[in-house]
Structure 1
Amino acid sequence: MIEVDGSYGEGGGQILRTAVALSVLMNEEVSVTGVRAKRPNPGLRPQHLTVIKVLKELSEAETKGLSVGSRSIFFSPKRVVGGRYVSDVGTAGSVTLILQAVLLASLKSSKPVSLTVKGGTDVKWSPSWDYFARVFVPLVKRLGVKVEVDLVRRGFYPAGGGEVKMTVFPGEKLSSFKIDEPQRYGLVEGVVAISKLPSHISTRVRHSVIRFFLSNSMEAKVSVERDDESLSEGVVVTLWSNSDETVVGGAMVGERGFPAEKLGERCAMTLFHEMQAGVSLDVNATDQLLPYLAFVASKNHESSVFLTRELSSHTRTNMWLLEKFLPVRFEVKDVGGCKRVEVKPA
């Protein structure tokens, strides 16, 4: 059994989600203690409980400690069972974080895994729907993961009520990711999604993004998507840019009292920094893709290598966690103002 200290690093929900997903993927029992120990409201919250229950059903696992507020859990998977699954967070808990956990857990499934999730599609501290669909999914597909995703309805904080669908298909051998040469990015694309707010807000966000990139002699094509079926009002901007080999992106969710112009400009500036650095993975994608690269390294005995601007606390925690489940190691070097990260079989 693998024992995980959930208070390690930032001590949040990421350790829990990733540990249980890896437990399913590697068919290893796991015990997680100190769940979300460094959060103001430690222990399992409804959104964390939701993802673990989905993974439990997916793998016919035996579990202990699955209740709101629990500080420790035990998870013993059997085998991944393909089929159709439905989950409702019941709040604006992030659906993209649930999808990422289920996708990782399903990599070795011999049958398709289809999941419909209701909750928050565009909420703070998680990938926006468009970042998930336009950046994360293309990156995992590049590795050979066969997955299709679909947005039914947006869900914003606090009511949620969004709905998304994902199907993971059995795939062939996954490939490594080897892009350690500086990338050149040009056209910026993006979406401003809005619900139950005046149209001038999305217009101002869009214009601020376009102005920012024009001032830096770059073109930006940004569309507006209105979905007033969402239960709560909200606005989110997601931007991305493709090189010949990869894609980088960024997203920001609007907040009451935060000017629309600032929202667009700040998101644009975040992406601009990634593009100017010539990285092959943006800071958030680095964290999110690491489990896949580690799995490829351990299974295929083949290294992956990439450039990123910096290693976030999430990324460092992920490295620590992945080394517990997989025979891998991470080599980090400073190269031209970036971090060159190599994921190697141990």
Structure 2
Amino acid sequence: MIEIDGSYGEGGGQILRTSLALSILTKKPFIIRNIRANRPNPGLRPQHLAAIKVLQGLSNANVEGASVGSSEISFYPGDIEAGKYKFDMGTAGSITLVLQAILPTAFLTSSKISLSLRGGTDVKWSPSWDDFDKVFLHVLSTLGIKVKTELIKRGFYPAGGGEVTVEIFPSESLDSIRVDEPLRYENVEGNIVISKLPDDIPKRIKHSIVKQMVHYSINGEINIEKCDTLSPGVIVTLWADSNYSRIGCAILGEKGLPSEILGRKCALNIIDDIKSGVTLDMYATDQILPYIAYITSYRGEKSVLLSRELTRHAKTNAWLIEKFLPVKFLIERKEGLVRLEVRQA
């Protein structure tokens, strides 16, 4: 039984989600205490309970202590069972965060897993749907993981109501990441999604983004998508391709955040990554660690990537992964970037 301190590092819900995924992959049970101890409302919230229920159903697991407010759970994984599943995250519970915990099952499934999920597609403190679909799934495809998605309806906080379908296919071959030199990125693409807000907002955001692109001599193609959701909202997602990888940035609009600043902030974020030549943006680096660690433990091949910084989430993820898998993370500075290597322990 692996024992985990849920207050370690960033001390949030990601420790739980990553533990669930790694437990299923390794068939190792775990107990986690002090769940979300560093948060204002510690313990399991409804969205975390939803993730547990999803993974419990997919892996025929036994779970103890799974209730709202609980600070401790035990999880005993069973076998992955392919098939069709339907889950409701509840109001605006993040669909993309739950999918982060589900997708590693692609390493084990022998046939297709079909999911229908309802909840929030674009909510605070989680990847936007476009960042997940356009950036993260593209990166997973370079590792040999095939996932097909369909966005039926978007959902903003607080009402949610978003709907997606996801198909996870068996992995036929796996590849590690081995990029030890800066990459060259070309054009930037983007999508500004808006619902139930004035029409001038996406135009001002787009103008601000284009202004930065012109200033730095970067070509960009920015789309405006108007949709009808239960709650009003606006979110910006930008991405750029190299010959090997894809990087992205997503920022959710908030009350009091001017459109011009929102657009400028998102543009400058991805421009900094482009100028640095990173392999992955900071948030994709955080999300990809369980996958490259599993591939390293399975195939024995090390992975290497470059990022601008390692977030607290990423550092916490590395600490947690080493509890489940026989791997070691090596982190060092290289010419202004962070070089991250994962090798067998």
1:90 aligns with 2:74: no
Within a 5 Å distance, the mapping from 1:1-346 to structure 2 comes to 1-228=1-228, 230-346=229-345
Give SS of 2:322's match. Answer: helix
Name the aligned partner's letter for residue 23 of structure 1.
S
Give SS of 1:178's match. Answer: coil
Name the aligned partner's letter for residue 268 of structure 2.
M
Where has structure 1 moved over 4 Å in runs of 4 or more? none
Q: Is the 8 A contact 2:189 2:221 kept in 1?
A: yes
Name the aligned partner's letter for residue 53 of structure 1.
K
Fraction of identical pairs, as percent:
52
Rounded Cα–Cα distance in structure 2 between residues aligned with 1:3 and 1:44: 17
The Cα of 1:107 is off from its aligned counterpart by 2.1
Name the aligned partner's letter for residue 4 of structure 2.
V
Q: Is the 8 A contact 1:25 1:106 kept in 2?
A: no
Rounded Cα–Cα distance in structure 1 between residues aligned with 2:9 and 2:333: 22
Rounded Cα–Cα distance in structure 2 between residues aligned with 1:106 and 1:25: 9
The CA deviation string for residues 232-269 of structure 1, in whole angstroms up to 9 with x for no partner, is 00000000100111111100000012111111110111
Give SS of 1:23's match. Answer: helix
Give SS of 1:99's match. Answer: helix
Rounded Cα–Cα distance in structure 1 between residues aligned with 2:217 and 2:119: 39
Rounded Cα–Cα distance in structure 2 between residues aligned with 1:280 and 1:257: 33
- Runs of 5+ unmatched residues, structure 2: none
Rounded Cα–Cα distance in structure 2 between residues aligned with 1:218 and 1:71: 48
The CA deviation string for residues 56-112 of structure 1, in whole angstroms up to 9 with x for no partner, is 000111111111000000110110000111111112121001111110134211121
Rounded Cα–Cα distance in structure 1 between residues aligned with 2:6 and 2:184: 39
Name the aligned partner's letter for residue 338 of structure 1.
L
Rounded Cα–Cα distance in structure 1 between residues aligned with 2:20 and 2:54: 11
Q: Is the 8 A contact 2:239 2:247 kept in 1?
A: yes
The Cα of 1:154 is off from its aligned counterpart by 0.6
Rounded Cα–Cα distance in structure 2 between residues aligned with 1:97 and 1:300: 27
The Cα of 1:48 is off from its aligned counterpart by 0.4
Rounded Cα–Cα distance in structure 2 between residues aligned with 1:335 and 1:281: 15
Name the Cα RMSD after superposition. Answer: 0.8
The Cα of 1:216 is off from its aligned counterpart by 1.1
Rounded Cα–Cα distance in structure 2 between residues aligned with 1:204 and 1:96: 27
Rounded Cα–Cα distance in structure 2 between residues aligned with 1:149 and 1:2: 33
Of the structure 1 ranges 124-133 and 84-93, higher mean CA displacement relative to structure 2 is found in 84-93
The Cα of 1:198 is off from its aligned counterpart by 1.5
TM normalised by structure 1 equals: 0.98
Give SS of 2:134's match. Answer: helix
The Cα of 1:47 is off from its aligned counterpart by 0.5
The CA deviation string for residues 35-54 of structure 1, in whole angstroms up to 9 with x for no partner, is 00000000000100001100
Rounded Cα–Cα distance in structure 1 between residues aligned with 2:340 and 2:79: 32
Q: Is the 8 A contact 1:80 1:106 kept in 2?
A: no
Give SS of 2:107's match. Answer: coil
- Runs of 5+ unmatched residues, structure 1: none
Of the structure 1 ranges 302-311 and 173-182, higher mean CA displacement relative to structure 2 is found in 173-182
Of the structure 1 ranges 171-180 and 294-303, higher mean CA displacement relative to structure 2 is found in 171-180
Rounded Cα–Cα distance in structure 1 between residues aligned with 2:244 and 2:174: 17
